[in-house]
Structure 1
Amino acid sequence: MHDPIAQFLASTSEHVTDAEEEAFLLFSQDISTGNLGFVDSHAASVDVTIRGNEYTIHQSPSLLSSSRAGGTTGAVLWKITPRFAEWISSTTNPLWTHCLLSCASVVAELGCGISALVALAMAPSVQHYLATDQEYVRRVFRANLDANASVPSAPPASCKQISSKAKGSSRKSTSKHKQPTKAVTNITFTTLDWELDQPELLKGCIESKSESESGGHVHEDEGDEEDRGFDLLLSCDCIYNEALVAPFVRTCAEICRLRPAYAPSDEGASQPRRQPTICIVAQQQRAPEVFETWLRETLREFHVWRLKDDVLGDGLKLGTGYLVHVLLAREKS
């Protein structure tokens, strides 16, 4: 029995086992330099193009410069976000070509910030997208969903085919007039405190929304056990402060362990009923000591791979100042 995750990893990634060695390798190379990574921290809005679609992203420069307790970095758009949104939503992304994602997938994001850009780019291709951050993000995040509701974004062709078979209706999956609506209505924002909240309750936010939209009743197949987990967990540029590393990694691990942990399967071995959660962490290269601290903590909880340049393309490959790693939760000891 083939293991699609193992095939994905073998063709796309380099296995990482040593934090100090990985940090030395990555930070000894020449990388692009610039400011902290803002697109334009003074503009009230910025225009961004993703896969040929134009988005207007509203920001809150005044909030960024405020003394709000708990941080304000999510108040503006960061340079890595459009690049990552372009890559993760592309029809050639290996998560799609290896059938690890489909239009039936449910995706969660940590530290989404105000832009909603990754959610807007990816939501048309999946069943539901759950974006999480602190409460101060909610108002502008919602404004960006509303401002970009009319941006067309077709799901991958493979997703259309799966959707037609699963739902028994090709009209819904191919109607261009329905796509902008889906891009907004299947995105949920909820707050998530990495130190205080319970990740196992996250999916309830989606179910509650679905119940309210369906008049209080959500159909579930008989015999299906409750799935509190996600197919994909994303994080884009959340690692910049050593104090945040431990709660961030712990939250990632707790969310990923809502699904089975990953163990490479032997030929003929039975597969778990549900696919392990794949976690993708993208970040800008800043302080090597912060990166090494993050990786050392992460390796305790996860198997880790770094995606290769030919998979990431020009926007995220080594030397651009950005890194993308794949995490799969270890069995809890």
Structure 2
Amino acid sequence: MNQIPGLADMGEEVLDVEEEAFLLFAQEVPSNNLGMIDPRAPAVEIPINGKDYTIHQSPSLLSSHRAGGTTGAVLWKITPRFAEWITNPKNPLWSNGLLDQSSTVVELGTGISALVALSLAPLLHHYIATDQEYVHKLFRTNLDANAANSTPTTTSNKKSKSKGSKSKPKPTNPVTNISFTTLDWETDQAGSLKEECLDSVDEDKGFDLLLSCDCIYNEALVAPFVRTCAEICRLRPACGEGEEIGSRRPTVCIIAQQQRSPDVFETWLRETMREFRVWRLSDEVLGEGLRSGSGYLVHLLLVK
């Protein structure tokens, strides 16, 4: 995997499902309850890198019996930690050039908070948030409520025409590059996402990063989730016009999750390793908020 600079320093490759599950769950895991910050609050205040975000939630939707689930109706504890980590300039994704101002990122299961989008999108070319349609209204509310923190944003399903230049992360101005589109892992085709980031004047480069934050908790959804991840990663062409075959870096996939059920984790890892090579990111890379013992896990995947 010489196409991913610094990968050997990011963490250890996972080679055995049962060994990895035992290693992670044999240690004491702190209790984070279900993992929600405050499921009864209509809004929560969250600081990220010196900026305060107001995140509006829907406790009534969370407690409803909506078919298809309601977990995206509130903010989960791992999300602010992940947002802090992914936007840190010392993060190896930035320092190794895997992310820069020309990058396009897709998030699966974004939920209502828009928190990762709000904090990360100003550093990118385009950010595509995906989830079921029921979160869209509050997602837009949270973009509008926090626009001052991230410069102007939009949830139109049209791509911004402006492009950034390659560099280490620094805010672009203005930001008009956040899109929301519905994507149901069980019924929708991942290929439809290309319509969200490409127009007639752009070369088809696929996506630089696919990320997901705390979407692995239901064993029944593991297979469609992993399949969707693999389909999105395979949308990136191997090369462009004039490029050597195989020269383009593969889409990097980052999966962050709370440690809950070892059985669900093992099911996810077994399914994932059929489609991906997997690395568990090291404590040195993750820092205090996500390191081992925090109750959270972060893995990097590269599709086979």
Q: TM-score, length-normalised on structure 2?
A: 0.89
Structure 1 stretches of 4+ with a deviation exceeding 6 A read none
**Equivalent residue of 2:116, what SS?**
helix
- Displacement after TM superposition at 1:198 (Å): 1.1
Alpha-carbon distance between aligned partners in 2 of 1:165 and 1:187, rounded to the nearest angstrom: 19
Which is higher, the Rg of structure 1 or of structure 2?
1
Paired residue total:
287
Alpha-carbon distance between aligned partners in 1 of 2:256 and 2:249, rounded to the nearest angstrom: 22
1:98 is matched with: 96
Check the 8 A contact 1:53/1:152 in 2, yes or no.
Answer: no
2:279 is matched with: 305
Q: 1:65 aligns with which of 63, 66, 90?
A: 63
Check the 8 A contact 1:200/1:255 in 2, yes or no.
Answer: yes
Alpha-carbon distance between aligned partners in 2 of 1:310 and 1:46, rounded to the nearest angstrom: 30
Alpha-carbon distance between aligned partners in 2 of 1:123 and 1:11, rounded to the nearest angstrom: 26
Give the letter for the 2:296 counterpart.
Y
Can you give the 5+ residue segments of structure 2 that lack an aligned partner in the other structure? 152-162, 239-243
2:144 is matched with: 146
Deviations 1:124-146 (A, max 9, x none): 11100000000000000000000
Check the 8 A contact 2:114/2:143 in 1, yes or no.
Answer: yes
Alpha-carbon distance between aligned partners in 1 of 2:150 and 2:211, rounded to the nearest angstrom: 23
Pairing 1:236-315 to 2, within 5 Å after superposition? 236-259=213-236, 272-315=246-289
The 1:123–1:60 alpha-carbon spacing in structure 2 relative to 1, beyond 3 Å, is same
- Displacement after TM superposition at 1:152 (Å): 4.8
Alpha-carbon distance between aligned partners in 1 of 2:99 and 2:18, rounded to the nearest angstrom: 32
2:2 is matched with: 3
The 1:152–1:201 alpha-carbon spacing in structure 2 relative to 1, beyond 3 Å, is closer
Q: TM-score, length-normalised on structure 1?
A: 0.82
Can you give the 5+ residue segments of structure 1 that lack an aligned partner in the other structure? 154-161, 167-172, 212-217, 262-269
Is 1:205 aligned to residue 196 of structure 2? yes
Alpha-carbon distance between aligned partners in 1 of 2:166 and 2:247, rounded to the nearest angstrom: 20
Alpha-carbon distance between aligned partners in 2 of 1:195 and 1:163, rounded to the nearest angstrom: 34
Check the 8 A contact 1:4/1:98 in 2, yes or no.
Answer: no
**Equivalent residue of 1:122, what SS?**
helix
1:186 is matched with: 177
Deviations 1:20-52 (A, max 9, x none): 110000000011103100000000000001111
CA RMSD, 1 decimal? 2.1
1:158 is matched with: none
Alpha-carbon distance between aligned partners in 1 of 2:52 and 2:287, rounded to the nearest angstrom: 21
Give the letter for the 2:216 counterpart.
I
Give the letter for the 1:188 counterpart.
S
Q: 1:195 aligns with which of 186, 195, 214?
A: 186
- Displacement after TM superposition at 1:165 (Å): 7.3
Check the 8 A contact 1:316/1:322 in 2, yes or no.
Answer: yes
